[in-house]
Structure 1
Amino acid sequence: MTKQTKIRAALLVALLAIALAGSFIYWSNQPIESNSDLVVSQDEVEPLTPATTNQPEKSLEDWARLYKDLKLVDAHNHGAANVANGMKNDMWNQYGVDRIVLFGNVSDPSALHTDKLAWEAYQQHPERFIPFASGINLLESDGVQMAKDYLERGFFGLGEIAAASTHSEALAHSLWKTEHPMDGALPDIYALCAQYKAPLLMHIDPPAGYPMQMLEEAATKYPDTIFIFAHANAFNSPDNIRSLLKAHSNVYADFFAGFTVFNPSSAYKLEDYVPVIKEYPDRFLLGTDSGYGISSEEDAIQAIYMLIEVVDDPEVAEKIASGNIERLIREQRATRTQLAAISQLEDKSGKKFDTSNMSKEEAGRLLIDADQASE
């Protein structure tokens, strides 16, 4: 390369450098144009930090000791199969759970078996277990007779039933679930439950939109039927629960404290729900949902105690921990099937029993005691 060629190359490089520098200075001084129609992928947005209740310093054993004099009924438990296998009783004794609304699988033929297990648990320990039935074909008319058979026999409620489920993986393959709370045989089942004063524990997800509109329609059309909205606080706000309870005096809320405390998807804290609980203290129940969606049933029990702590009202605590669900059980009358069995017992034993105002619970205990005495 000649000297003249080298000089020309150097000048070209210098000119290019000056042009690039000028371009950088120009664009860095231009205003950034706003675009209100800009669409940002959800994956590119930092997620909101979920609201979580302060994690407890007390152990579950500490909580159980603190509230050892408070009667606690788990109003939502899927542990029928576990009870049959000899599990759970020691845990419930250790952590102060006195009674359990017991069932197993949900709105599926397999629930016929777990309903049987719940009934057997009740026959062995009527002081502890309150059997509910879920093995009901909600899609066909014969489901009404299935429900009636359960209630006549002595089951205290129906549920958990899958009245609507879009997101629950656990219910994705339930063969007997309905599309919404006014679908299939559900309206006739509601009328039946009103006759027996038996509550329905209803799974509805999502807890908004059309499924909830249909629940409200059901509550309006069947005012004598008791609807328990299962895990009402899961993915749901205190205001939504308040609106539902305000509009319908026959709707109760099954509160799953474990979700609010331990599931990172919860957008609320326990304290957020206290005002609505105190506003409707006669219509909240406490359930563990067997620890679904969190690490364990033990955590769900601990969360119940944490809720009782923040409620900070002994009268309200007694109602939500046991009083409300036991009232719903106590108000049910003895069925014809139970009364017929008692009549047979009278003929066999020579004893007479006053059945004029006998409750289903009293009739059930009488028959169980008689069976156990004859063994």
Structure 2
Amino acid sequence: MASRWMWASQTIILLGAVFVLAGCEEQTNSAQETESAAVVSTPSVLASAGPVKTAEPQTPSMEQLVERYKGLELIDAHNHDASDSRYQSQLGLWKQTGLGRTVLFGDVSEPSAVGTDAVAWEAYLKYPDRVIPYFSGFDLHDPGCLQVIRGNLEKGYFGLGEIAVASTNSPVVSKVAWKANDPMDGYLPQIYDLIAEYNAPILIHLDPVGGEPLAKLEQALEEHPDTIFIFGHINAYNSPQETERLMAKHPNLYGDFFAGFTLYNPDGGGKAEPFLPVLKKYADRFMLSTDSGYGITEVRAIEAMYRVLDQLGDPVVQKNIAHDNLMKLLQAQPATQTQLKELRKQGAGGAGTEAAPQKLSKLEAGRLLAQAPKG
């Protein structure tokens, strides 16, 4: 299922040389073998992506950018490839293009999201060091959603998203069954307080970026200061000035910057320069995403992330936006009681779960559980 938001544009066909990677390291478990097979069978896209057509002759190729920034372990903060289990065919691409981790979910605020949430969780169990599972399969107008949310966070999901907190312009998201009318609709206020208990963020879809929906979002930000809000594709159909105003006013607001929209969507302007001062000023609260290459292709969206990083220039800013900001949100989430109970049951956590459980993060607990023997 395509990423759900308002914009549609023609897919950019990448030209250039395509070569097939051969060989892979011997793996010791079936999950690693699956990933290695995906890498071998995935055509190389680095050289074929090439430079931006309008760029200067010295603009580095995508292959050069991946090599230059591979040490950052770039994180994709917004990816819908749990829909139709597409992530399985993308594992090779993610590895080849240097992605360290991917925030994975599927459908948005509708009943089918329950199934894609499960796919994201299965992917996480197979690849706990590569996949960060989020979920959106709950009806925010039903009080039972609070139990669903608590249960999923206890289980080990790291965040809510993508959640349609308002949509009137999108031909798709405006019609989903479980969308909110505004960011204070239904049980959203209670949801904000609940997820704050777990230090878990909520990745939101909001359109239009203005009027009553935006006013209600600002109300939510002010009334729930302990909740982390990540504004999905904050740069799409939004100005750098408005983006800066929101970031300056609300310290609990983070920005998911969809670089592919700005660089390669016809409506995006084609240049990142107007946004660069904002990204640098709030370098501790921005992250980059592909949105699964909506309107372009996923490889083109990954390329855009690297090009924005390259234009930022400052190594500290690059490291924060590429990796550290999101990792800090993950590392701030403590292991849940459900995780600790399961670790003790399986004997997977060692003394850490008994002697100092308060020091174990959800990230660490999840890795231990994923690696524990099954059966």
Deviation track 1:242-284 (CA, whole Å, cap 9, x = no partner) reads: 1111111000000001000011112472011111111111000
State the AA in 2 paired with 1:316: V
Of 183-192 and 66-75, the range deviating more from structure 2? 66-75
State the AA in 1 paired with 2:315: P
TM-superposed CA distance for 1:114, in Å, is 0.4
2:312 is aligned with 1:311: yes
- Match of 1:69, SS state, is helix
State the AA in 2 paired with 1:335: T
How far, CA to CA, are the matches of 1:142 and 1:105 in structure 2?
20
1:174 — aligned with what? 176
1:298 — aligned with what? 299
How far, CA to CA, are the matches of 2:331 and 2:85 in structure 1?
24
Contact 1:167–1:205 (Cα < 8 Å) also in 2: yes
Q: How does 1:13-52 map to 2 (within 5 A)?
A: none
Alignment root-mean-square deviation, CA: 1.8
Q: Structure 1 pair 61/169, CA: closer, same or farther in 2 (3 Å)?
A: farther
Q: Structure 1 pair 244/174, CA: closer, same or farther in 2 (3 Å)?
A: same
TM-superposed CA distance for 1:186, in Å, is 0.6
State the AA in 1 paired with 2:63: E
1:266 — aligned with what? 268
Q: Structure 1 pair 74/68, CA: closer, same or farther in 2 (3 Å)?
A: same
Contact 2:263–2:269 (Cα < 8 Å) also in 1: no
Q: Structure 1 pair 85/270, CA: closer, same or farther in 2 (3 Å)?
A: closer
- Match of 2:139, SS state, is coil
State the AA in 2 paired with 1:301: I
TM-superposed CA distance for 1:374, in Å, is 3.8
TM-superposed CA distance for 1:326, in Å, is 0.5
The counterpart of 2:219, out of the listed 212, 217, 220, is 217
Deviation track 1:321-374 (CA, whole Å, cap 9, x = no partner) reads: 01000100000011111111122123xx7953342311111111111111xx34
How far, CA to CA, are the matches of 1:153 and 1:336 in structure 2?
9
Question: Which structure 1 segments of 5+ residues have no match?
Answer: 1-51
How far, CA to CA, are the matches of 1:66 and 1:367 in structure 2?
34
Deviation track 1:24-76 (CA, whole Å, cap 9, x = no partner) reads: xxxxxxxxxxxxxxxxxxxxxxxxxxxx9944754432321222222100000
Q: How does 1:201-212 map to 2 (within 5 A)?
A: 201-212=203-214
How far, CA to CA, are the matches of 2:131 and 2:349 in structure 1?
30
Contact 1:136–1:146 (Cα < 8 Å) also in 2: yes
Contact 1:332–1:361 (Cα < 8 Å) also in 2: yes
TM-superposed CA distance for 1:143, in Å, is 1.3
1:364 — aligned with what? 366
TM-score norm. by structure 2 comes to 0.81
Specify the structure having the higher radius of gyration (Cα): 1
How far, CA to CA, are the matches of 1:246 and 1:83 in structure 2?
38
Contact 2:349–2:365 (Cα < 8 Å) also in 1: no
Question: Which structure 2 segments of 5+ residues have no match?
Answer: 1-51
Contact 1:109–1:176 (Cα < 8 Å) also in 2: yes
Contact 1:237–1:268 (Cα < 8 Å) also in 2: no
Deviation track 1:80-100 (CA, whole Å, cap 9, x = no partner) reads: 135567210111111111100
How far, CA to CA, are the matches of 1:149 and 1:351 in structure 2?
24
- Match of 1:68, SS state, is helix
Contact 2:141–2:186 (Cα < 8 Å) also in 1: yes
Q: Structure 1 pair 143/307, CA: closer, same or farther in 2 (3 Å)?
A: same
2:233 is aligned with 1:231: yes
1:92 — aligned with what? 94
Q: Structure 1 pair 246/353, CA: closer, same or farther in 2 (3 Å)?
A: same
